[in-house]
Amino acid sequence: MGETEAAQTRKQLVEAFIPHSPHAAALGISIESLDDDRAVLVMPFKPELATMGDVVHGGAISTLIDTAATVAAWAVDEVPESPAGATVSLSISFTAAARAVDLRAEAEVVRRGRQLSNIEVRATDPDGKLVAHGIATYKLG
């Protein structure tokens, strides 16, 4: 980087990345809010996300949860040496069918280590009803 360019924090990098991530864009996922160790993402319903009828496919919900966990892991005001990272593990429990509704995922880092972070994610429908719960481990590079 040149002397006039300021290095970007992880939070700034992920905020700029998500709108241009091809998979997130295909699903319509966007960041609603971003704070230290927290992220809220939304995924609007569209017929292409249905598994059958108007039921949102579990894979789409899983992508929303994984993306929210990623954003929360990156939600820190530190300048990285390397803009790399990866989901190490992801576990999702589905609690209710989501039928033709926009979904919201709230992610929070519950433990942040030097490289690994543990994140909890709750995916809900517009009424606040839990659709799925996820836990993830994310590794920052």
- pLDDT value at residue 71: 98
Domains and CATH numbers, the chain: 10-140 (3.10.129.10)
Three-class secondary structure of residue 22 per DSSP? helix
Query: Tens digits of per-residue pLDDT, 115-124?
Result: 999 999 999 9
Q: Is the pLDDT of residue 5 over 60?
A: no
Which conformational region is residue 59 in: left (phi greater than 0), alpha (psi within -120 to 50 degrees), or beta?
alpha
Query: Tens digits of per-residue pLDDT, 62-93?
Result: 999 999 999 999 999 999 988 899 999 999 99
Between CA 20 and CA 135, with CA 83 as vertex, the angle to 5 degrees is 80
**Stretch 43-47: mean pLDDT, rounded?**
97
pTM for this prediction: 0.93
- pLDDT value at residue 61: 98
58-74 vs 10-17: helix axis angle to the nearest 10? 150
